[in-house]
Structure 1
Amino acid sequence: MDEVVEKAKVLLGNMFVLYMKAHAYHWNYIGDNFPQYHAFFGDFYESVHDEIDVVAEHIRAMDNFAPASLARMIELSEIKEDTQIVKPEKMFQNLYDANEQVLACLNECYELSGKEKAWGWQNYVQDLITAHRKQRWQLRATLGEK
């Protein structure tokens, strides 16, 4: 179960950085379609924020403590944080790339949880995979990709 918990902590770090990217893009987007993109980024970060809380609660339910500092979240994350304001034309691609990293981590969590028979966690991870695949589709469509 230790491997499941450690990967769940990595997922939490990844999701925290994804959340921060989306929130910063919500604050800092300028340009065409501002109302729509501002709302899109807002919906995106709100959904990830809600997921973060449940992931942390699953870590606690597996008798471990959730990471409790920004530094630890960044250390755990496989996603590079933005350290400067991102140009509007790069925001959607950056969010797409980060979401792909979250999906890869979710797939690893799913496989590990099956091996360890962590069924409740696996069930929630499956729901997250579905949600992040939908976000993938929306980001691809915004980027003009199939």
Structure 2
Amino acid sequence: MKSKIDIGIDEKNREEIAKGLSHLLADTYTLYLKTHNYHWNVTGPMFPTLHVMFEGQYNELALAVDLIAERIRALGVKAPATYGEFMKLSSVKETTGDLTAQQMIAELVSGQESVVRTARSIFQIVDECHDEPTADLLTQRMQSHEKTAWMLRSMLEG
């Protein structure tokens, strides 16, 4: 038996917010996989630095996917949880082949920025519904991804 959810956001709006969060979850999980891949496969003179940096980034992303999925569930919607669903929903695309460390960094900058754009795209409906918990989550995610993108971009300069 499904119990009624009465948190001050009607079902239609909860579903719309969850749809946006599902895209954010897919982006975040895809970026997690990409970052973990690069952690394992980076080579070259920047290996020690990048190996450790990528590990910190994928650990942060792993925590984020849980927070996003749990917010979707709190809104009363089933969270996507398969590679197939994530591939359909994600704006972050997988990369294949051997990449240089510089190419990996550039790919991660692009991925971080994609996640920020997805998070930003959800704000209008979240604001309209006065969904402060989701707004807080989005703000935290955007802040984290913007900072990470800046740090990665800085490694490409000079």
> Does the alignment reach a TM-score above 0.5?
yes
Instruction: Tell me whether 1:50 sits opposite 2:63 in the alignment.
Output: yes
State the match for 2:121 in structure 1: 108
Q: 1:10 aligns with which of 23, 45, 49?
A: 23
In 1, Cα distance between the equivalents of 2:102 and 2:150? 18
State the match for 1:78 in structure 2: 91
- Give aligned-pair identity as a percent: 28
1:132 CA displacement = 1.1
In 1, Cα distance between the equivalents of 2:156 and 2:120? 24
Give the letter for the 2:99 counterpart: V
Give the letter for the 1:20 counterpart: L
In 1, Cα distance between the equivalents of 2:153 and 2:49? 16
Corresponding residue SS for 1:35: helix
**How many residue pairs end up in the alignment?**
145
1:22-77 CA distances to partner (integer Å, 9 max, x unpaired)? 00000000001211110011111111111011000000000011112111111110
TM-score using structure 2 length: 0.87
Question: RMSD across aligned C-alpha pairs, in angstroms?
Answer: 1.3
Instruction: Tell me whether 1:63 sits opposite 2:81 in the alignment.
Output: no
Give the letter for the 1:4 counterpart: I
In 2, Cα distance between the equivalents of 1:86 and 1:12? 25
TM-score using structure 1 length: 0.94
Give the letter for the 2:74 counterpart: A
Give the letter for the 2:70 counterpart: E
In 2, Cα distance between the equivalents of 1:85 and 1:19? 18
Which ranges of structure 1 fall in alignment gaps of 5 or more residues?
A: none
68-77 or 49-58, larger mean C-alpha shift = 68-77
Answer with 1 or 2: which has the greater Rg: 2
Which ranges of structure 2 fall in alignment gaps of 5 or more residues?
A: 1-12
Q: 2:109 aligns with which of 93, 96, 117?
A: 96
Corresponding residue SS for 1:16: helix
1:55-113 CA distances to partner (integer Å, 9 max, x unpaired)? 00000000011112111111110111123343323100000011111010111122321
Equivalent pair of 1:110/1:126 in contact (CA under 8 Å): no
